[in-house]
A and B are shown apart, each in its own frame.
Chain A
Amino acid sequence: MQRWLKVLFFLLLVRPLIVFVIGLNVFQRERLPRRGPHVLVANHNSHLDTLVLMSLFSWRDLHRVRPVAAADYFLANRWLAWFSTHVLDIIPIRRDGGGNRRDLMADCRAALAAGDIVILFPEGSRGRPEAMQPLKKGVFHLLKTHPEIPLTPVMLRGLGRALPKGEALLVPRNCDVAIGEAMQVGDDSAAFMGALEAAFETLAEQCRGSAWLDEWQ
């Protein structure tokens, strides 16, 4: 039942909306994982990010795709909580450290163990459009016990301009999605974070017109 709710929501509402209002330029779509366990890490500028990333998957794989989202925001009231858990099927994370204090990411681990594709935003929260914030090390801690699970970096560009943080007005705009090569965490946190940042920089260059956009900030 929940599975169909999610599929129908994406097929009937999100997909058409993204095609007509957003319009995606996807680079290296073939690198998108088909099945889990797999972690997708992306930069985060807009509420649209999660919807766009999930819409890239075929409806057959969609029930396996679960975004990690802040519990204090997405479970804030009854209606949003119902939508977040039943339609988006989020993995809630307590940013304040409440709940399971020892392991914030216990739910993510469980999802990966069940073979899900987990979407994670290592910047923590939505930042200014087209500007990356420092990456947090949560991904590394999540995967260091299971270094064989691959992760794929995805660069999103333009969504922060279509619907930035704190705005309710969606202004149509084509957006770029550049999918990177799958990588593994290894055992050195600093080396991994450096490699991840470098991967995001490479992907940013693939997005179209980036030179001009930066000049115009």
Chain B
Amino acid sequence: MFEIAPHVETVVIAVLALLCVASLSRVWMGQRQPERDLLELKQRIRSWWWMIGLLFVVLLLNRDAGIVFFACLSYLALKEFFSIVPTRLVDRRVLFWAYLAIPLQYLWIWQEWYGMFSVFVPVYVFLFLPVRMLLLGDSQGFIRAAGVIHWMVMLAIYCIGHLAALLTLPVLNPAAGYLGPVLFVLFITQFNDVCQYVWGKRIGKRPILPRVSPNKTWGGFLGGGLTVTLCAGLVGPYLTGMSWSLALAAGAVIAVCGFFGDVVISSVKRDLGIKDTGQLIPGHGGILDRLDSIIYTAPVFFHFYRYFAY
């Protein structure tokens, strides 16, 4: 059942070791400073165990399980979007059709029907949902509703769907198998979030977008981006079919896209006046709080990889 490519196995072990280090240092911190409230840190680390554990079990099972897993992620993300943005009550049926696009989109991915996968949401769903809306006969707020619904569908189904699509690309590096590219983009994106945060705390002074996200600084962006680019250059050839120079470029692309994904979801939250998008993941918030950068990095990396590495 579990046929693990050797490089993937190393990465799995390394990540689990990293989680152990995180858990142990939390316990150590708690013992050294018993008066500090570490509940949120504890929840955060425990949630990381759950997320990474689930991801590994599902991805290592087989390719189809991975595709179903990403379809579920799309569904949860879309549900969270529809719950935080305002939608008209009459559009309930339209939202239902939007959900139905998920199994179809993932069916194309599973069939490796690249042409359909890349046009289904931006063309057919895009054209169909407003038609379903006008059958409801309420044209007040039509433009806003059509715009909002389609934007959510693009982010939650189309963009996240590229993670599943990465599973279906022909394997370039047999030692890393079909999982290599997905793990690469997932971990480089998460590592980028962490690095930009840490560098921002260390040397960040001038905010890039003071009115949207005051915590994002030039120092954090450049320091984190550089670290991530170097790291991608090292890991890229190991996990994917990219040369080290191409992997460096991919790292830079992921750093930039991850930054923008983060900031885009931040401004959605800021517009709605909410701090997080849900309570699904204790210590992290909603699923969109975790997927924000991946929404941007997944499609861009997919096309980068598919175009340059083959």
Contact = CB atoms under 8 A, between A and B. Distances in A.
B83 A26 contact: no
B193 interface: no
Contacts of A24: 279
A55 interface: no
Interface in A140-189: 158, 161, 164, 167, 169, 171-175
Interface stretch (B43-51, B88-96, B111-119): B88-96
B89 A161 contact: yes
B141 interface: yes
B66 to A, nearest CB: 19
B85 interface: yes
Interface string A194-217: 000000000000001101110111
A209 B80 contact: no
Interface stretch (B165-173, B209-217, B270-278, B289-297): B270-278
Contact of B87 (A26, A164, A211, A216): A216
A176 to B, nearest CB: 9
B95 A171 contact: yes
B6 interface: no
A212 B272 contact: yes
A138 interface: no
B89 A171 contact: no
A206 B79 CA distance: 20
A84 interface: no
A25 interface: yes
Interface of A is mostly: loop
Interface residues of B, number: 25
A173 B79 contact: yes
Nearest to A26: B279
A215 B88 CA distance: 10
A209 B279 CA distance: 14
Interface of B is mostly: helix
Given A211-B273, A212-B272, A23 B92 contact: no
A56 to B, nearest CB: 13
A23 B82 CA distance: 12
B309 interface: no
A169 B88 CA distance: 16
B99 interface: yes
A124 interface: no
A26 B278 CA distance: 10
Contacts of B92: 161, 164, 167, 169, 171
A36 interface: no
A216 B87 CA distance: 7
Interface of B: 75-76, 79-80, 82-89, 92-93, 95-96, 99, 141, 272-274, 278-280, 286
Given A23-B76, A161-B89, A216-B88, 15 more contacts: A24-B279, A25-B279, A129-B89, A158-B83, A161-B92, A171-B92, A171-B93, A171-B95, A171-B96, A172-B82, A173-B79, A174-B278, A174-B286, A211-B273, A212-B272
**Which 6 interchain pairs have the tightest Cβ spacing?**
A174-B83, A216-B86, A212-B86, A25-B279, A171-B92, A172-B79
23 contacts: A23-B79, A24-B279, A26-B279, A161-B87, A164-B89, A167-B92, A169-B96, A171-B95, A171-B96, A172-B75, A172-B79, A172-B82, A173-B95, A175-B83, A208-B274, A209-B83, A209-B84, A209-B86, A209-B272, A209-B274, A212-B273, A216-B87, A217-B89
